[in-house]
Structure 1
Amino acid sequence: MNQHPSTDQTLLKMPSLRAVRSFVAAARYESFTRAADTLCVTQAAISRQIRELEEHLGTILFERVGRSVKLTPAGAIFFEAAQLSFLNIAQAAARIRKDYGTHARRTVVVCCSPAFSALWMAHRLPSFFTANPDIDLDLVTTQNFLTLEPGTDPDVFITKMARVRDNYVSVPLFHDRIYPVCTPAYLDEHPEIRSLEGLRDGVLLNLSPYGRSQVAEHVDWSVWLAIHHLDIEDRLLHGAHYFNANDYILLIQMVLGNQGVALGFDHLVSPYLQKGLLVKPVEHELVLEETRHYFAYREDKANDDALNRFRSWFFDQGDLTMATGRTA
């Protein structure tokens, strides 16, 4: 190992870290007695360490004020630097214990859309944590997978992009199945939406394409109706309103609040249908057979135990590779 004389001299000129620790404790509590109690040593030991440090620095660091002590101007300067250094050391030690220690917890960083995290992940995650108490998840949500903040390198992407980044292995998942959804109560109040024409003329809650430029195709009400040979422009001019938003979670909350009908993406809304919270007013649907969702994981972590356990759990949630896209 190459030695650097200047670094060696710096180390030789450093005061005793034990003395600096005693100084920081005494300065923080303004008391040698409390510092001794905190460090589980005697007050005499604290006094001896601080006297050693003052001799090393060639100046007085404390002034006695009654039963307490007060930093001198030189002491204040040294305390600011010493406290910050000890904080940095403590934080580095905590990270090392967490990531490399004998009982280190592992963290898997997962990146997906806000809708997928809220409507697919959220109610399933308890089963993952129960089965994997030693693994933490760091969930990053975005609509723009190509412009994450610098330094953000997820272990896993769940996205509709077949190739999200270099050096990731992409596993194809399901096709999108898209159909109208509303609550049973809303359907009872608006029986006319049991037909495609009545649906077209009803209150439609629409997912706009704003901020979704990376999605290979965008299906909104105009596209879905056109596939079923209806033109959105034929809606009555003075009829029910047409609400537009680029927040899919908001749209589903509005549907659950009996405010209209939205297009349901099967992997996101199927749990609500299974519980009877949502229903299909019509049986028509659209399957995007040319595109899929993908589970992409870092190639350099292909043998990482934590990532593999997350991947196994993820695929155990349902037949995610099935072409029809049906999930548990």
Structure 2
Amino acid sequence: MPPLNALKGFEAAARLRSFRKAADELNLTHVAISHQVRQLEDDLGCALFLREGRSVALTEEGRVFYDYARQALETLVTGAGIIRRHGPEADLRIETYVTVAIRWLSPRLSRFHAAHPEINFSLNTRRTEWWFDEANTDIAIMYVDRDLPGSLRARRLFEGTLYPVCSPSILAALSPVVTPSDLLGLPLIEVSSAPNDWRDWFRAAGIENAPALRYTKVDTYALALEMAIAGAGVAMLNGPFAEEELRRRELVLPVDLVARSRGDWAVLYRADRERDRKIRAFADWLVADVEAERARSAVVNSGR
């Protein structure tokens, strides 16, 4: 193996075409860089640079070796970064959508921290990309409506359910008995990343060929909810993100029909990190917390 420090000096000098600039970048002296390059040349048995006054140029052997040295150093940097990100002191990087983070996950995170005070975590929301970021995420809570690649594992949290919500003022303006077809004449709020929600719900209601619908398109379920609360229209939800508003009657169900969506909500992580202590702790805790909440809800409902 060529000496590692000499490789760093050679790579910087070759890239910058200057021993002096390489010395400045590596916080070394010009003499130290010259010594490293000479050490490497002695090790390889050939000249790597042509010295031309204050500037240097690679020899043919130097050009060939530079590609290998650069790739080797980049690989080491990448590997070190992965170890640092996944090491025992690294934060658990949680990824999810804005709506899930605000309306469902954030109230639970304090309970997770109480159960696992040794695990620090960071929460990132996705606004433009809607799928698992394998390079920058450890674990994610996502809506899964497709076959997973072999690189990912998923544990189901709850099924996707579609149901419309609106403000009490909109419901009061309708006839005492509201049918799904009554919603066709109302302003509907559609989430742009879920364009099939309304169509799937109408189909489940027996309306196969709905006429042209009036939509206001927004980019998150959270925004659709806020608009529904403000009386701007009827929002279609997918998942348990409006329980508090429904309980306080800030929102109501205009039609008592809940349809099954095309996918499920799940916690995802990379298959090759399935045994990671922090990932396993968060996934196990989240699944158990959802099950406990489901059990509490069943007890409350059975007592009504």
**TM-score by structure 2 length?**
0.62
Match of 1:120 among 92, 100, 109: 100
Distance 1:271 1:121, change over 3 A: farther
How far the C-alpha of 1:148 sits from its partner, in A, is 1.4
Equivalent position of 1:138 in the other structure: 139
Cα deviation digits, residues 126-161 of structure 1 (max 9, x gap): 55389476235532644425x11231224x433429
Could you say what secondary structure the match of 2:294 adopts? coil
Q: Tell me the equivalent position of 1:93.
A: 80
Distance 1:54 1:270, change over 3 A: same
Equivalent residue runs for 1:27-106 within 5 Å: 27-99=14-86, 101-106=87-92
Return the letter of the residue paired with 1:196: V
Distance in 1 (CA, whole Å) between partners of 2:175 and 2:247 is 20
Task: Write the distance in 1 (CA, Å) between the matches of 2:143 and 2:265.
Answer: 15
**Structure 2: tracts of 5 or more residues without a match:** 123-137
Q: Secondary structure at the match of 1:59?
A: coil
- C-alpha distance 294-321 of structure 1, shift in aligned 2 (>3 A): farther
1:273 shift after superposition: 4.3
Query: Are 2:234 and 1:261 aligned?
Result: yes
What is the CA–CA distance in structure 1 between the aligned matches of 2:289 and 2:90, rounded to whole Å? Answer: 26
Task: Kindly provide the CA deviation profile for residues 185-237 of structure 1, in whole angstroms up to 9, marking residues without a partner as x.
Answer: x62xx744253347633327499x9989xxxxx9724545x7xxxxx59x9x9
Query: Given the alignment of the two structures, is residue 280 of structure 1 paired with residue 240 of structure 2, yes or no?
Result: no
Distance across 2 between alignment mates of 1:196 and 1:87: 67
Give the 3-state SS of the residue equivalent to 2:156 in structure 1: strand
**Equivalent of 1:319 in 278, 286, 293:** 293
- Report what 1:200 is aligned to: 181
For 1:172, the equivalent position in structure 2 comes to none
1:158 paired to 2:157: yes
Partner secondary structure for residue 94 of structure 1: helix
Alpha carbons of structure 1 residues 31 and 257: separation in structure 2 relative to 1, 3 Å: farther
Identity of aligned residues (%): 25
Change (3 A) 1:241 1:49: closer
Computed over aligned residues only, the root mean square deviation of the Cα atoms, in angstroms, reads 4.9
1:88 aligns to what SS in structure 2? helix
Separation in 2, partners of 1:315, 1:211: 31
Kindly provide the amino acid, as one letter, of the partner of residue 320 in structure 1: R
Q: What are the Cα deviations for residues 163-205 of structure 1, in whole angstroms up to 9, with x where unaligned? A: xxxxxxxxxxxxx6x7642245x62xx7442533476333274
Please say if residues 203 and 260 of structure 1, whose CA atoms lie closer than 8 Å, have aligned partners that are also in contact. Answer: yes
Provide the rounded CA distance (Å) in 2 between the counterparts of 1:122 and 1:182: 20
CA radius of gyration, larger in: 1
Matched-pair contact (CA < 8 Å) for 1:183–1:258? yes
Partner Cα distance (1:79, 1:180) in 2: 62
Structure with more of its chain in strand, by fraction: 2
Match of 2:165 among 181, 201, 206: 181
Aligned length: 266
Q: Which runs of 5+ in 1 are unaligned?
A: 1-13, 162-175, 213-217, 227-231
Alignment partner of 1:103: what SS? coil
Offset of 1:34 from its aligned partner?
3.1
What code does the residue aligned with 1:279 have? L
Note the 1:227-306 alignment, pairs <5 A: 241=213, 249=221, 255=228, 260-264=233-237, 267-273=240-246, 279-280=251-252, 282=254, 285-286=256-257, 304-306=277-279
1:148 equivalent in structure 2: 148
SS in 2 for 1:267: coil
Give 1:181's aligned amino acid: V
Q: Name the CA distance, whole Å, in 1 between partners of 2:51 and 2:32.
A: 17
Partner residue in 2 for 1:7: none
SS at 1:70's partner residue?
strand
TM-score after normalising by structure 1: 0.58
